[in-house]
Structure 1
Amino acid sequence: MAKITFQLKGARELQRAIAKRPMMMATQTKTIVAKHGALLKTKTAQNMAAAYTAGYSTGATRRSLSTTFSNAGMTVAVAPHSEYFAYLEYGTRFMSARPTLKPAFTYQSVQFVNDLKKMMK
């Protein structure tokens, strides 16, 4: 089974500015990371509720969503843990794709970067 990974790499200038700021900046950054991790999980679950409406849909993939923090709270991972999520997200030759995580990530990453930029002002 293929492992699906999405990453958002920040602008180098933004990363340098955060590194130069005092500890308060790190606390604010952790708060922003936690906020947008939770929002990403919520948006993904909403997308799943809207996309997975067939009669055989049980909600197992939506319930399998988890949020994991690492790197001292500076990194968050939102991921479903059902074995067949990749098939739902990307489709197969027999089934069309029903993307839920990627659209949520695309939307939330813009909001995340905007909040980081506001913090830098």
Structure 2
Amino acid sequence: MARGSFGIKGTGPLIKAMQKKSDLSAVKKVVQLNTSELQRKMQRNATFTKGYSTGTTKRSITSSVSDNGFTGMVSPGTHYSPYLIYGTRFMASQDFFRPSFFEQRKQFISDMERIMG
């Protein structure tokens, strides 16, 4: 068998482009921004017109960023939030969670495509 050699020329621009893409601080900023926007949207949508409303659910919606800035989480803190989101056989759904999430998800994907493109 013959032995050969393999070489690539002109890798300088490729290496520079890869180093530029490896700076993940922009990703962390996008995660932080979208997490806080999702929290605001959920709080805005957590205004209930049916039944007894005290504003406890709206105040209980919190956000946190973890995993060194790569994970954002927004959640309601009241134990009865699932009943508001999904409804029960006695109560119609007053979903404040999913519409906010799906709206913000579009923005998040757009922001990530912008910084990766």
Same fold? TM cut 0.5: yes
2:30 corresponds to which residue?
A: 32
Q: Does 1:117 align with 2:110?
A: no
1:100 partnered with 2:93 = no
Aligned residue for 2:7?
none
CA shift at 1:84, angstroms?
Answer: 0.2
Where does residue 73 of structure 2 map in the other structure? 77
* Separation of aligned partners in 2, 1:97 and 1:81: 18
Matched residues, number: 99
SS in 1 for 2:72: strand
The alpha carbon displacement at 1:40 in A equals 0.3
Q: Tell me if the contact between 2:21 and 2:116 (Cα under 8 Å) persists in the aligned partners.
A: no
Q: State the TM-score, normalizing by the size of structure 1.
A: 0.77
**TM-score scaled to structure 2, two decimals?**
0.80
Q: Which residue does 2:42 correspond to in 1?
A: 44
Aligned-CA RMSD value: 1.6
Query: Which runs of 5 or more structure 1 residues have no equivalent in the other structure?
Result: 1-17
Q: What SS does the corresponding residue of 1:69 show, helix, strand or coil?
A: strand
Q: Which residue of 1 aligns with 2:8?
A: none
Q: Which runs of 4+ in 1 moved over 6 A?
A: none
Identity of aligned residues (%): 36
Aligned to 1:21: 21
How much has 1:21 moved relative to structure 2?
2.8
- Alpha-carbon deviation of 1:69? 1.1
Q: CA deviation at 1:55?
A: 5.7
Q: Looking at both structures, which has the greater relative contact order when contacts are Cα pairs under 8 Å and sequence separation is at least 6?
A: 1
Other-structure match for 2:53: 57
Structure whose alpha-carbon radius of gyration is higher: 2
Shift of 1:87: 0.1
Whole-angstrom distance in 1 between the partners of 2:51 and 2:102: 28
